[in-house]
Structure 1
Amino acid sequence: MPDEAGTTPPRPRTPPASPGTVLQYFDDTRRTSPELPAVEHRGRSLSYEQLGCAADALAAHLRDLSVAGTVVGIRTDRSFRLPIAILATLRAGAAYMPLDHAYPEARLDFMMRDSGMRVLLTHRTPTGVPPAPAGTRIVLLDDAIPADPPQQEPPTPLTTPHTTTDDLAYVIYTSGSTGTPKGVAMPHGPLRNLISWQRETFACGIGSRTLQFAAASFDVHFEEMFSTWGTGGCLVLIDEEIRRDSHRLLRFLDEQRLHRVFMPFVALQSLAHTAQDVGRHPDTLREVVCGGEQLYITPAVRQFFGALPGVELHNQYGPSETHNVTAVRLSGDPASWPERAPIGRSIAAARVRVLDEHGSPVTAGDTGEIVIGGPVLARGYLNRPGLSAERFTPDPLGPPGSRVYRTGDVGRIDAQGLIHFLGREDGQVKIRGYRVELGEIESAVRALPEAADAAVVVNESRTAGKRLVAYVVAEAPLPEDLRTRLAETLPEYMLPVAFVPVDRLPLTPSGKLDRQALATRELTVTGSGARPAEDGVHPTEAGVRQDLTLLWEHVLDAKDIAADDNFFRLGGTSLLAAVLISRINERFGAYADLETFISRPTISAMAEWIGERSDLSQQPVRLDS
C-alpha cells in the first residue's frame, strides 16, 4: 500500500528559502554557490552564475520593451535558450507563454493573438524566423547562450521588479470544450507554494541531476525547472529525438547518471517495458514523479522498481488550473503497491475535497466531484471571464471571498483518507498526459465538409492504450485524408486514430448523446487490406514482412495491415513505436532506433532495412505486452 509515513531518504541541505517568487530560490543558490551547474545540454553545462547572467542580459532588454505585466511568447527549441528565456521573462516582471513547435500554425497564431502578447522570443530555424501577428516585436535568442569561459567579474545580478503572489507567472493553453483553446493564467503564489512543498518532500537536493522531460507547453515543465533550481540541482536537457525513443531515453538516464525524472504514466510504462526487454536499469535513479494521468502499477512497472529498490515513485495530481495539489509516495516492495494508484492527500495549503451533488464532503467509500480550494488556484482563464466564473466559484466551506475550482473529476476517499481518481464526469479526458476536451475535437471534425455530425470518444485497448475514435455521421466510405486535414488545426495528440462512419449517433432516453454506447463499441483499427507479398520479393524478406505484420497488428490492436500502410497514420504514436521497436530488435537482432523507424514507417521499408542488417534468424515472434 502507499507509504506516506515513510522517512524521506537523507539529502544534502537545500539552500535557505527567501521570501518572494520562485526566482528567489534560484537567486539563493546563485548567491551561495554560483559555480554549481544549473543546466546541462549535450555535455556542456552552465553554472548558476552563467545562466543567471544570460537571463539578466535578456531581461534587461525585455524591460526596455516595457513587458512588465504583459504576456511574452516563447517559441524555441530544447536548448539553453528555453530556460534562459523563461528566467528572463520572469525577471522582467512578465508572464511567459510557451509556444510548441509541434502545434499547427493555426493554433499557434490563435494563441498569440488571444493572449495579447506583444513580444515573441524565438530563434532562426532552417526555414527562417517563425511568424508572429502584425505588431508583435520579435526578439531573437540566437545569441542568448553565453560563451565559455564565464566572465571573471560577473556584473551585479539584475533585481526583479516588485512582484506579488497575484502577478502572473505563465499562461498555458489547454483544450477547450467549445472548440477554442483557453489560456490558464497562473500567478506566482500557487507556484511558490508548490515548489516550497517539493523542497521539503523530495529526496533530491544540492548537486542532484533532474531530467527535463516535459514539453514546455505542459505545466510539469515549470515543476521540473524550479523544483531542481529550488534545491541547488542541475536540470539536464534532452533532445526531442531521444525523449521520444524509450531505448535511447533509457541509455541517456543511465549514462548521464540522472537522479530524478518527471513523466506521465504512458511514458513510464514504455520505459519500464524497454528496461525489461534489454535488461538495463538506470541505477543512479532516486525518484520518479508521475502526473498528468492515472497511474497504473503494471507488471512492467513493478519489475522496473523491483530492480531499483531504492527508488521512490511519487504520484501527483492536479489540473492545469491549480497545478499539482495532491500527492502520494509509493515505496517499499512494489509487489504490495495497488494496481490503480491513489492520488493521495492535499499538499501544503491546498484544500482538496470530494463533494456530493449538494456540496457536502462525502464519507469514506462514496464518490463525488474533486473540488480544490486554498491559495493554489489559477487566476482563471485569460480573457474568458464567463468561463472563469463558471469553473472558479465561491467556496461554500471556506472564508468569505475564497474560491474553489470545480475539476469535473470524479473521486473517492478511502478509509485511510487517500483520494482516488475515478475518471471524468464530462467530455474531458487525459491522453498521453495531456488534458483534452472532446468537444474541441468534435468541433474540428464537424467542420469537415463530409461530416453532418460527429462524436469523439476514448477507446481503450489492451496493447495500444487509450485511443481517440471519431464517429462521423456521413456516407461511407470516408476519405482517407481526414486525419491529415485535421492535423492542420489540431496537435498530434488530439487526432483520432480511426474515423467510423455511422448513420446516426446513439442517444440516451433523455435525448443526450450516449457516449458510453460509443465508447463500449468494439473497435479494431483496420489497414488498407491484407495482401500477399508482391512479385519479385525474396522469400526471406516475405517472411520478415509476415512477422512484422503480426507485430504491428498486435501493438496497434489492428488488422489487415498492408506492406505499405504507414504506422503513424494507423494511430501509432512515438510511445507505441518504442514498444514495437523493442519487439523488432528482439525478434531480428538488428538494432533500430526511433529515428530509423520514423524514416521507414511501413512494413515493406522496415523489412528491407532489416534484411540489410540482420541474419534473420528464425526466432518466434513475441506478442506479450
Structure 2
Amino acid sequence: MLIGERFTYPLEPLHRVISKTVKKYPDALAYKYQDQLLTYSMLEEQSDYMAAFLMANGLCPGTVVGVLLDRSATLVVTLLAILKAGGVYLPMDIDFPEDRILYMLEDSGATMLLTYSDKRVFSAENLTVINLSLAEIAQLKPELPRVSHEWPAYILYTSGSTGRPKGVKVTHQNLVNLLMSMFSFPGMVHTDKLLAVTTISFDISNLELFLPLTAGATLVMADAATARDGKALFRMMKQEQITFMQATPATWKLLLLSGWDEKLDIKIVSCGEPLPKDLAEKILERCASLWNMYGPTETTIYSTGKQILKTDRVITIGKPIGNTEVYILDDQLNPVPWGEIGEIYISGDGVTQGYFAQPELDAEKFVIDPFKDGSAKMYRTGDLGQLTADDEILYLGRLDKQIKIRGYRIEAGEIEYQLKKCPEVAEAVVTTRTDRSHDLRLVAYVMLKDFALNLNFKSLQHDFKDRLAQELPSYMIPSEFYLLEELPLTLNGKIDYKALPAAVRKTTGKVIASADTELEKNLFAIWAEALDTTDFTIDDDFLDVGGHSLIALYIMNEIEKLLGKTVPISALYEYPTIRKLAAVLDNGISDSLAASLVKLKSGGDKHPLYLIHGNGLNLLNFNALVQYLPDDQPVYGFQAIGLNASDAEIGTMEQVAARYVKELLHQNPDGPYLLAGYSYGGNIGIEMARILKNMGKEIRLLALFDANAQNSEKYNSWTSRIGRKILRQGPKAVWFTRSLVKTPAKAIGYQLFLLRNNANRILQKLRLVKQEKSIGVFEQLERVTQKYNEAYYNYRIKPYDGEIYLFKAAERVYFVDDAEQLGWGKYALKVHVREVPGDHKTMFEEPNVATFAAELTRVIDAINCA
C-alpha cells in the first residue's frame, strides 16, 4: 500500500475556493485568450452575471447542463457560472458527431444545452437550447444557492465497452482535493502562467482551466489550430513566457519534431499515456522540470505522479498524490508481494461518485476498500502495476482490451458496436498496431455478410469511416480496415485476438518503378510474393513491412535460386532494405555476414546485451523484444553456426559455446557481459558464462528465456527411464487437467500437434507416407537443426558457479517436472524467477512482449546499479 501526503483542504465547492482567490488577487490577470483579457475581479463579476442569466432560464441546483462551446473567455465564465448556480456541467467537444452529443445529453438527463453556434440544431425532449452568442446577459447579481462540496461538479463521458460511452460523476470535493494537491506536487504559485491546450471533453482540461484560477496564476488558452500546430504552439510558449504546461506524450513529440531545440523555464507535465524514456530525456534537456502523472477519469484526473530526473533509469508513475491511497492487488484483493505484478486499485478523496445510471458497472469497478473501516470505495483501474525498490509504481499496461491512444481512453467494444450497425458488416474486431514511427494506431478487422461484397471492400472502407464519423469522435475512427473471411475463435467461442492476421496492407504494384537496377526489381518481386503485398518501397525495412523468420527463409531460398549462391539470413539484419541488400549482393558477401554474432540494435553507452538463439536457430523472433528495449541499450545476437556456412561443423554444445565466445571476445574483449539464451540457447548461455568466468571475465547477467533444465535420457538406464515415465504420469495428468480448464484451446492444440507428429514419424518409418524432401535454404536449415539437436541430445548440464535470472512464460503448453524454477535450482547458486505473460512462443509477440521487455529492462538496470 502506498499512501499520499495527508493534508487539509477547504470542504467547499470549487467556485467558492476561486472566489477566495479573487479576493487575494483582484487585479491580477486571470485569463487570456488571443486579445481577450480578464482580471480575477472581472472573471468573478461576469460569472455572477452569467449565473443569474442561467438561473432565470431554468437552471436550478442539480441541473445537468450540456456545454458545447469552443475556446474563448466565455467558456471559463460559463463553467464557473454553472457551478455557482448549483448545476453540473457536461463538457462536449464541438467536433463530436451529433448522434454522440444527443446520446450524452439524453443519457445524462441534461435539460439545458449551451452553445454559441446556430449552425447545428439539437432537438431532444425536455432540452432547452441556449445560443449564448444571441443571449443578452443582464448585469444582475444573483442570489446564489448553497452548494455542497459533495455535489457533482461535472459529468465526463469516457468510451464504453458496451458500445456506448459512460458518464463519470466528479464532485466538487474530488476536484478541489486534486487542485490543492497540485499546489505542491508538481507545484503552482500565483506568478505562474499555464498554457491550456486540451479540448474540454478530455478530463485533464479541468486541471488546465481551474488550477491556475485557484492559485492566483494566469490561464493562457491556445486556440484549437495552435494546439495542433507544433511550430505555432512553440512560438506561443516563448511569446507568452509560459511557466507550466501539461500535455500527452503525443504533443511533446509534436513540439520536438517542430523544432523545439532550446531550453525554456517551464514546468512540463506529461500525462494520458506512458512516457517513453527516450522522449523524457529529450524533454529534460529543454525544460526546468518534468513530471509524469497518472490517473483515470474515475479517480479525478491524477492519482499518482513523480518528477522525472536525468538519473532515472526507468520511468515510473511515482507515488500517490495528497489524500490518496494506491494498492497493487491480486484477484482475491490481497496485496501482491513486493516486486510482483498486480492490478492497480485507487482509494481516497479522488474517487468519484461512479458512473451515471450504471449500477452494475459501478458495482464491478467501485468496490469496498477492505483496508479501511466503513463504506469507503476504491476503484479498480484494470491497469497492471508493480512496486519498485523506491516504493514507486511501475505501470505495465492494461488487463483488458481497453486502449489508450494520444491520451484518449478508448473501448474497442464501442467502435465494434458501431461498425456492426453497418448493414454490410457481419462481425467486426477492433485492436491496435504500432506503425513505423512507433505510434499506436486503431485497426479494424471486418467480416462482411455477403461474400460478393468482398470485391468492393476498398470502397466500403471509405463508407465505414464516414458512418463511424457520424457516431464517434475522430480519435476513435480506425485508420485501417482489413477483410476477414471468418473471425478466428477459441474453443469457448470467443474471438482469438492472437490468431488475427498481421496487419499488412495490400495494394497494387504501384512502387515497383522505384527499383533502379535489375537486381532490385527481382528482389522486389521476391519480397512482394513472400509478403503478399506490394505496399512497400525498396527503402522499407523488411521487419517493418511484416517480415518474420519463415518469410526470411523463403526470401533467402528464392535469392539462392536467382543468384545460384547461398545468402546468410543475417544479411536481413545488416541490410534490411532491398536497396542495401542489392548493393551488398552486387559487391559480394562480406566475412562479417558469415559470423554467428549479429548486431541487432546499436546506440547508447550501456553494456551490450547478447541474445542466444533457440530452436529456431535464427534471431528474427527476438525482433519485437529488441524494439521494446530502451534506445540506449545495444543488443547483439548469436544465430546458429550452420546458417551462414553450409559446410560448418557444429560439434558439441561446449564447442558451440566456445565458438560463440570467440566471436564475443573479438567484438567485446573486456566485458562485463550480459548473456540471455532462449529455450535450449539457455544451455549454450551457461556454457559461455562458464568459459568466460574461467577466463576471469565478469558475467553481470545470465538470463534464461523459458529454458528448461532437462538432461537427455541418453545417460539414464532403461529401468530409470521407465521409472521416471511412470512417476511423471500422476503430476502430468493433474497439469493437463488444469491447463484444459484454464486454456483449453492451447492444451488440446498442443496434444493434437504431438499426436500428429508422432503418427507421422511412425508412418514414415513404416514407409506408409513419403517424407517431403526439403530443398535450398530449407534443406540447409533442416540439416543444421538436426546437428544442433544431436549436440543437445549428447549434452549434460553441469553446475554453474553463479546466479541465473529465469524469465518464465506464464502459460505452458507442455508438462515440466519443476514448474517453479524449470529445474535450474540444482544447477545454479541462486535462481531469480521473473514470470512474463504468454507461452513459450507468444512471450515474444504482442501484447506480451512489451511486458517482457519492461521486466528485462528492470533487471538489467537493477544489476547495473548494484
The TM-score with structure 1 as length reference comes to 0.76
What is aligned with 2:63?
Answer: 70
Match of 1:121 among 114, 130, 135: 114
Whole-angstrom CA distance in 1 between matches of 2:445 and 2:415: 11
What is aligned with 2:312?
Answer: 337
| Cα deviation, residue 234, structure 1 | 0.8
What is aligned with 1:53?
Answer: 45
Runs of 4+ in 1 over 4 A off after TM superposition: 16-19, 143-147, 525-529, 549-554
| Cα deviation, residue 509, structure 1 | 4.8
| Cα deviation, residue 130, structure 1 | 3.9
What is aligned with 2:282?
Answer: 303
Change (3 A) 1:226 1:529: farther
Whole-angstrom CA distance in 1 between matches of 2:539 and 2:59: 54
What is aligned with 1:323?
Answer: 300
2:162 matches 1:170: no
2:132 matches 1:131: no
2:312 partner letter? W
1:283 partner letter? L
| Cα deviation, residue 448, structure 1 | 1.6
What is aligned with 2:603?
Answer: none
2:447 matches 1:469: no
What are the equivalent positions in structure 2 for 1:363-512 lying under 5 Å apart?
Answer: 363-463=337-437, 465-474=439-448, 475=451, 476-477=454-455, 478=457, 479-481=460-462, 482-512=464-494
2:128 matches 1:142: no
Kindly provide the CA deviation profile for residues 20-74 of structure 1, in whole angstroms up to 9, marking residues without a partner as x: 1222331122112211111101133110111111111111122231421121111
Match of 2:91 among 87, 98, 116: 98
What is aligned with 1:595?
Answer: none
Change (3 A) 1:551 1:86: farther
Kindly provide the CA deviation profile for residues 430-470 of structure 1, in whole angstroms up to 9, marking residues without a partner as x: 11111111111111112222221111111122405001111
Change (3 A) 1:322 1:244: same
Unaligned runs of 5+ in 2: 514-535, 547-630, 632-866
Whole-angstrom CA distance in 2 between matches of 1:507 and 1:420: 33
| Cα deviation, residue 329, structure 1 | 2.8
What is aligned with 1:352?
Answer: 326
| Cα deviation, residue 507, structure 1 | 2.8
What are the equivalent positions in structure 2 for 1:174-253 lying under 5 Å apart?
Answer: 174-253=158-237
1:25–1:231 Cα contact (<8 Å) kept: no
Change (3 A) 1:312 1:525: farther
Whole-angstrom CA distance in 2 between matches of 1:349 and 1:317: 15
| Cα deviation, residue 181, structure 1 | 1.1
Whole-angstrom CA distance in 1 between matches of 2:511 and 2:277: 39
The TM-score with structure 2 as length reference comes to 0.56
1:412 partner letter? Q
SS of 1:321's equivalent in the other structure is: helix
The alignment's C-alpha RMSD in Å is 2.9
What is aligned with 1:112?
Answer: 105
What is aligned with 2:273?
Answer: 293
Change (3 A) 1:17 1:372: closer
1:484 partner letter? D
Change (3 A) 1:78 1:303: same
Kindly provide the CA deviation profile for residues 251-302 of structure 1, in whole angstroms up to 9, marking residues without a partner as x: 11111211111101111122123235xx3x36232x111221111122x542
Whole-angstrom CA distance in 2 between matches of 1:492 and 1:37: 35
SS of 1:315's equivalent in the other structure is: strand
2:29 partner letter? P
SS of 1:262's equivalent in the other structure is: strand
Structure (1/2) with the larger helix percentage:
2
1:445–1:451 Cα contact (<8 Å) kept: yes
Unaligned runs of 5+ in 1: 6-15, 148-153, 534-548, 560-623
1:53–1:155 Cα contact (<8 Å) kept: no
SS of 2:257's equivalent in the other structure is: helix
| Cα deviation, residue 552, structure 1 | 13
Whole-angstrom CA distance in 2 between matches of 1:232 and 1:351: 29
1:354–1:361 Cα contact (<8 Å) kept: yes
What is aligned with 1:578?
Answer: none
| Cα deviation, residue 19, structure 1 | 4.5
| Cα deviation, residue 18, structure 1 | 5.0
1:305 partner letter? L
Deviates more, 1:137-146 or 1:349-358: 137-146
Change (3 A) 1:30 1:468: same
1:90–1:169 Cα contact (<8 Å) kept: yes
Kindly provide the CA deviation profile for residues 538-576 of structure 1, in whole angstroms up to 9, marking residues without a partner as x: xxxxxxxxxxx989999xx889xxxxxxxxxxxxxxxxx
Larger Rg: 2
Kindly provide the CA deviation profile for residues 331-364 of structure 1, in whole angstroms up to 9, marking residues without a partner as x: 443xx3345x211111111111110111101122
Whole-angstrom CA distance in 2 between matches of 1:528 and 1:490: 31
1:139 partner letter? I
Whole-angstrom CA distance in 2 between matches of 1:105 and 1:492: 13
2:14 matches 1:22: yes
SS of 1:61's equivalent in the other structure is: helix
Whole-angstrom CA distance in 1 between matches of 2:208 and 2:414: 29
| Cα deviation, residue 525, structure 1 | 4.4
Whole-angstrom CA distance in 1 between matches of 2:509 and 2:95: 31
Change (3 A) 1:105 1:449: same
Whole-angstrom CA distance in 2 between matches of 1:146 and 1:194: 32
1:17–1:24 Cα contact (<8 Å) kept: no
1:530 partner letter? K
How many residues in Structure 1 have an aligned counterpart in Structure 2? 509
2:254 partner letter? S
Whole-angstrom CA distance in 2 between matches of 1:441 and 1:74: 24
1:275–1:304 Cα contact (<8 Å) kept: no
1:91–1:159 Cα contact (<8 Å) kept: no
| Cα deviation, residue 146, structure 1 | 9.5
| Cα deviation, residue 429, structure 1 | 1.2
| Cα deviation, residue 483, structure 1 | 1.4
Whole-angstrom CA distance in 2 between matches of 1:528 and 1:58: 59
